[in-house]
């Protein structure tokens, strides 16, 4: 009996030691991961446009000022800044923020309630940096391992002509550092030349906000641009590549990393972290990026991809841990609406119709219903087009466009 008790005691001691060892190992692993950036003193320079200027709040205007309309100018994209900054912060990377003239910078209009934006807005340290950015002319390229240029329409106005920024980017790259940007951010690269006189982007794979995306979503400022970004990059020798509108696409050519649009932001930031020799901390995708990732799968040929969205909302998918609110179904319909504007093939029209139809009830908008009916008619689905119009008129009996189209069918 005594031997049995001794054996049990030894087993308990052994299991206790194993448990403690496991805990210590896990803690050490976390400490190593958390300190991987700190041990190498990695620092990234985030660059934002300083061009932005919104309308002055009425309460702050004098009577004299109220008679003069303040010029509105586009700024940087806060969504992109917030997503990229969060990736860098989660990986323990030190960050400086710069703009051409330094000081406070203004973002384009954005939703402060989006989780990733709210998180950054509550970060007093980074907001203090945004309110007092460093001027590019006083920076030393030797202080940075990489640069990340945030997009936004403002980047098209002040970043391409900032000679100090051009020299900084060229030097970081020639110091074997990494140069990256997203959306309109690559506007900072178009005039960058290396010591041998060649353009930074020459003969390199690159992408940015595309001409197609500009025509659909950038009309407000398009006439004021000096150039279209895609065209200028190609003019200076870049090997431009892209995906469908507003879907994530990252081009990597050695130490040059670029992303096509806001949806590409996190992927670009993670690619930068990897190129710095680190393993990026895994983070959940936000609802919009996650939804567009499903759209990308569908457009690439995965016809069952949209089932994930509808099953998530109905709670019928037991396989994928879906919960309501994990996807943004109206965004799917909106995407289909814009996708069909540039559709050229029957397949593309069919895909846009599927996307719009998937979100038709969630959006419940006569304009969307009309577009669905028009595509159905274009594809020869006259009976379905009539049914769509009749359903539209059942809720909106005086909607004349639907009345006219129904008569014409």
pLDDT tens-digit readout, 21-42? 444 444 444 444 444 555 458 9
| φ, ψ (nearest 5 deg) of residue 160 | -65, -25
Encoded tokens for 97: 């923020």
pLDDT in the model for residue 310: 67
pTM: 0.86
Say how many C-beta atoms besides its own lie within 10 A of residue 249's C-beta. Answer: 21
pLDDT in tens, 281-290: 998 899 999 9
pLDDT category at 11 given cuts 50, 70, 90 is: very low
Residue 282: burial class (beta carbons within 10 Å; 0-12, 13-18, 19+): exposed
Instruction: Reply yes or no on whether the pLDDT at 68 is more than 70.
Output: no
Shared-domain flag, residues 192 and 215: yes
The closest of 178, 136, 121 to 47, measured between CA atoms, is: 136
What are the respective helix, strand and coil percentages of the chain, to the nearest 5? 55, 10, 35
- The CATH number given to whatever domain includes residue 167 is 3.40.50.880
The overall average pLDDT reported for the chain is 87
Residue 216 has pLDDT above 50, yes or no: yes
Give the model's confidence band at 308: pLDDT under 50 very low, under 70 low, under 90 confident, else very high. confident
Residue 159 has pLDDT above 80, yes or no: yes
- CA dihedral sign, ordered 272, 275, 278, 281: positive
Question: Does residue 208 share a domain with residue 347?
Answer: no
Count of structural domains, the chain: 2
Same-domain status, 265 and 333 = no
Report the alpha-carbon distance of residue 54 to residue 106 in Å, rounded: 8
Please check whether residue 252 lies inside any domain of the structure. yes
Note whether residue 242 is domain-resident.
Answer: yes
Checking if the pLDDT of 306 tops 90, the result is no
28 part of a folded domain? no
Whether the per-residue pLDDT at 17 is higher than 70: the answer is: no
Whether residue 339 sits in one domain with residue 208: no
- Locate 24 and state its tokens: 């210590």
CB 44 within 8 A of CB 95: yes
Query: Does residue 64 fall inside a structural domain?
Result: yes
Residue 150 domain boundaries: 36-275
How far, rounded to the nearest angstrom, does the alpha carbon of residue 129 sit from its chain's CA centroid? 22
Which residues fall within 8 angstroms of residue 241, CB to CB, at 6 or more apart? Answer: 205, 206, 207, 249, 251
Q: Which CATH number fits the domain that encloses residue 296?
A: 1.25.40
């Amino acid at each position: 009996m005594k031997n049995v008790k001794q054996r049990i005691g030894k087993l308990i001691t052994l299991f206790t030691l194993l448990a403690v060892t496991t805990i210590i190992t896990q803690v050490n692993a976390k400490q190593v991961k958390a300190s991987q950036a700190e041990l190498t003193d990695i620092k990234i320079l985030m660059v934002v446009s300083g061009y932005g200027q919104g309308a002055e709040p009425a309460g702050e205007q004098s009577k004299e000022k109220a008679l003069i309309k303040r010029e509105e100018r586009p700024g940087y994209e806060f969504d992109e800044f917030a997503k990229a900054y969060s990736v860098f912060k989660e990986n323990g990377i030190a960050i400086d923020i710069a703009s051409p003239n330094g000081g406070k910078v203004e973002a384009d209009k954005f939703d402060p309630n989006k989780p990733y934006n709210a998180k950054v807005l509550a970060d007093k340290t980074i907001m203090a940096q945004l309110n007092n950015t460093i001027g590019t002319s006083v920076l030393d390229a030797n202080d940075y391992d990489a640069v990340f240029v945030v997009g936004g329409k403002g980047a098209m106005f002040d970043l391409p002509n900032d000679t100090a920024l051009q020299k900084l980017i060229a030097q970081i790259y020639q110091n074997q550092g990494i140069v990256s940007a997203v959306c309109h951010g690559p506007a900072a690269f178009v005039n960058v030349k290396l010591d041998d006189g060649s353009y930074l982007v020459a003969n390199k794979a690159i992408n940015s906000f595309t001409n197609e995306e500009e025509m659909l979503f950038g009309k407000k400022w398009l006439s004021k641009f000096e150039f279209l970004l895609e065209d200028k990059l190609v003019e200076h020798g870049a090997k431009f590549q892209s995906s469908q509108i507003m879907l994530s696409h990252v081009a990597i050519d050695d130490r040059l990393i670029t992303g096509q649009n806001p949806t590409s932001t996190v992927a670009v930031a993670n690619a930068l972290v990897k190129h710095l020799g680190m393993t990026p901390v895994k983070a959940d995708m936000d609802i919009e990026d996650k939804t567009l990732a499903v759209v990308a799968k569908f457009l690439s040929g995965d016809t069952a991809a949209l089932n994930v969205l509808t099953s998530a909302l109905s709670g019928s998918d037991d396989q994928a841990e879906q919960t309501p609110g994990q996807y943004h179904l109206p965004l799917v319909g909106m995407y289909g609406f814009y996708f069909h504007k540039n559709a050229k093939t029957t397949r593309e029209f069919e895909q846009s119709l599927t996307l719009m139809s998937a979100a038709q009830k969630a959006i419940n908008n006569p304009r969307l219903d009309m577009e669905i009916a028009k595509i159905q008619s274009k594809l020869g689905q006259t009976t379905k087009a009539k049914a769509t119009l009749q359903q539209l008129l059942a809720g909106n009996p005086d909607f004349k466009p639907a009345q006219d189209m129904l008569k014409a069918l």
